[in-house]
Amino acid sequence: MTRKEWRCTTFGRLLGLVLTVLAVGLDAGVSTAQGTSPGPAPKTVASPDDSLALRQRAAEYWAARVARDYRTQWELSEPRLKGRITADEYAAGRGAIQYLGYDVGDADIKGSFASVQVKVIARITLPQSKSNPVVKTQTVPDAWIKVEGVWYRRADQETSPAMSGATQQ
């Protein structure tokens, strides 16, 4: 057997061994990671403490909305929003809706994501409208995300839920 033939044969055996080990490892990985395939996330039960912390953060956020405290609203927003705009930019352009009150309801937590049902009372004044402001009460879903153990309001949702298509009450 020449040296070249020996290398090819040895390489072929080594390659076969590696492929066999990989095949066995992948087969074992598939059988132990059955719940990791794409599809619906497994149901997780949130602890009462987690639900309470989320509802408290939501109440703090909505109290800031009622008080028109834009800096606190911005601070309670998820970090990726704070990386895109400043607190002053966040506050700019607000004003057509004045929140008069809120009631934080049930929280639905799925891992690091959550939705809190919030009943809001808002006065809506349309710019350059001769009609009187409209007072509206609605229950709206408020989306939250947990980042490093802290709940933040999601940036990718309606910023004025009182104007959304939520169910009027």
What rounded mean pLDDT belongs to the chain? Answer: 76
DSSP 112-126: TEEEEEEEEEEEE--
User: Which domains, ranges and CATH numbers included, belong to the chain?
Assistant: 48-155 (3.10.450.50)
Note the pLDDT tens digit of each residue in 62-106. Answer: 999 999 999 999 999 999 998 899 999 988 867 778 999 999 999
**Whether the predicted pLDDT of 37 surpasses 50:** no
Note the pLDDT tens digit of each residue in 120-160. Answer: 999 988 777 777 889 999 999 999 999 999 999 998 886 55
Q: What is this structure's pTM?
A: 0.66
Tokens representing residue 81 in the block: 């929003």
Residue linked to tokens 């703090």: 60
CB proximity list for 160: less than 8 A, separation 6 or greater: 96, 97
Q: Could you tell me which residues are beta bridge partners of residue 97?
A: 124
Strand order through the sheet with 150-153: 97-110, 113-124, 134-147, 150-153
